[in-house]
Amino acid sequence: MDQISTDVLSHLGARDPEAARILAGEAERQETTLELIASENHVSSTVMHSVGTWMTNKYAEGYPGKRYYGGCVWHDAIEDLARDRAKKLFGCNFANVQPHCGANANIAAFMALLKPGDTVLSLPIKSGGHLSHGLKPNFSGTFYNIVDYDLDPETELLDYDAIRAIARECKPQLIICGFSAYSRTIDFAAFRSIADEVGAYLMADIAHIAGLVAAGVHPSPFPHAHVVTTTTHKTLRGPRGGLVLSDDEEIAKKIDRKVFPGSQGGPLMHAITGKAVAFGEALEPGFKDYQQQVVDNARALAAALVEKGYRLCSGGTDNHLMLVDLRGRDAELTGADAEGWLESAGMIVNKNGIPNDPRPPMVTSGLRLGTPALTTRGLKEAEMVKVADWLDRVMTSKGDEATCTAVREEIRSFCADFPLPH
């Protein structure tokens, strides 16, 4: 653990031992387990500590130079820094760094581009989309008319001809691309050509692949998407938060209005500070190497799992994640069981529905695995083979207690050789 973290824990321990004990437990959990959740990462200690600062004390409703509160001179400076770095990172003209999370970024984008009742064409969550792209109980499914497109049932890939045909029929005002559980390259130009044909806006939610895009190891949604939304904490390796980007001046003005005052109040300036610092890290040359290694590791892990007889949806991966169809290995295996067994053995994963999954979302037939956090710790292709071995041992044993305990101890000692970033 870095010195600042040790000092923070001891400072907190002297004043609030109960909270300090919980934080120390979480620090130890992260240090000693393998994080395979595709949407998670370990921030640098620089990013982590930049979030816990004086910036948490201030209201700064409004935007730099136009605040509703006095005393915002340094808040203007940090928000400008975050916006400028975000624009440079993604090669666009506009950034709003205030959304508290990805779903809030999407709310602002919907409000800027649509009116209630308008038609949105998107991939449903059951096929790898996100809940804020149209799930019934979500704001998106409540206030808009959602039409689904789907993956090709044979290849489990996006079928652009089929999407075009649905778009021609339903004439959406907005088409959404960008997904939570799709392991293949997205053809943003193809989506834009469909959007243009039917007169729709195109929104790319690149939350999962933002780091890959920033590093140039996945094609950019620019110049194709009218609006790009993302989180900042997945492959991008920043603090938790959201971000909206655009190249269209008129849309940009609307986005600013729909983030504040449209859907949020005071921005979380401490988180915006962390975003500025994380974007600075992402602009460093080493970030490209990191993202390339994320993709190389995903390919290595996918290959090792296939070798052991697991079926991957779409047959593999082009990005940082893969979706394992557990039924390919054992018809009885469920995502929920596997998630629990693996956690007891020191591997943190999430159960995930696979396309056309017959099981309910709290059970599922799949696991979604990702390599961003493992890569941050310094694991490379050789270690991916080890990780696949551990995954397989636990799942083949069906969570046998002795096997899980043995693997847990191996992973604990392995993690000591790959410390979290300091």
| Closer CB to ligand DSN, 109 or 207, in the complex | 207
| Residues 230-289, interacting with ligand DSN (CB under 6 A) | none
User: Shortest distance, CB of residue 130 to ligand DSN, whole angstroms?
Assistant: 6
- Residues 357-416 contacting ligand DSN, CB under 6 A: none
Q: Which of 33, 39, 273, 334 binds ligand DSN (CB under 6 A)?
A: 39
296/358 Cα distance (integer angstroms): 32
Backbone angles phi, psi at 145, to 5 degrees: -90, 105
Binding of ligand DSN at residue 207 (CB under 6 A)?
Answer: yes
Binding mask 78-117 for ligand DSN (x = CB under 6 A): ------------------------x---------------
Reading phi first (left if > 0) and then psi (alpha if -120 to 50, else beta), residue 398 is in left
182 exposure class (CB count in 10 Å sphere: 0-12, 13-18, 19+): buried
Minimum CB–partner distance for residue 277 and ligand DSN (Å): 22
Is residue 231 among the annotated active site residues?
yes
Query: Quick one: 175 or 323, whose CB is closer to ligand DSN?
Result: 323
Burial 59-82 (b: 16+ CB within 10 A, else e): bbbbbbeebeeeebeebbebbebb
Q: Which residue has the tokens 């959007």?
A: 195
Strand residues in 247-334 grouped as ranges (E): 311-312, 321-325
Contact 181, 368 (CB under 8 A): yes
| Residue 92: alpha-carbon gap to chain centroid | 20
Q: How far is the CB of 102 from ligand DSN (least distance, A)?
A: 5
**Of residues 39 and 98, the one with the C-beta less far from ligand DSN:** 39
- Is the Cβ of residue 39 or residue 138 nearer to ligand DSN in the bound state? 39
Supply the DSSP string of 6-21, one letter for each residue. HHHHHHHHHH-HHHHH
Q: Position of tokens 């010195």?
A: 3
Among 42, 130, 320, 408, binds ligand DSN (CB under 6 A): 130
Catalytic: which of 33, 119, 231, 376? Answer: 231
Look at the block and give the residue holding tokens 């006095």.
70
Query: Which of 44, 50, 104, 180 contacts ligand DSN by CB under 6 A?
Result: 180
Among positions 288-347, residues that touch ligand DSN (CB under 6 A) are: none
Residue nearest to ligand DSN (CB): 39
Known catalytic membership, residue 234: yes
d(CA 358, CA 381): 33
The burial of 416, by beta-carbon neighbours within 10 Å (0-12 exposed, 13-18 middle, 19 or more buried), is given as exposed
Does the active-site annotation cover 61? yes
**35 vs 247, which CB is nearer to ligand DSN?**
35
Look up residue 133 and give its DSSP letter: G
Closest CB to ligand DSN among 147 and 207?
Answer: 207
Among residues 35, 79, 150, 205, which one is catalytic?
205
For the chain, give percent helix, strand, coil, nearest 5.
50, 15, 35
Number of residues in contact with ligand DSN under rule CB under 6 A: 5
Residue among 61, 76, 330, 389 flagged as catalytic: 61
Q: Looking at 87, 240, 359, 386, which residue is catalytic?
A: 240
User: Has 197 been annotated as catalytic?
Assistant: no
Residues assigned a catalytic role: 59, 61, 205, 231, 234, 240
Binding positions for ligand DSN, rule: CB under 6 A? 39, 102, 130, 180, 207
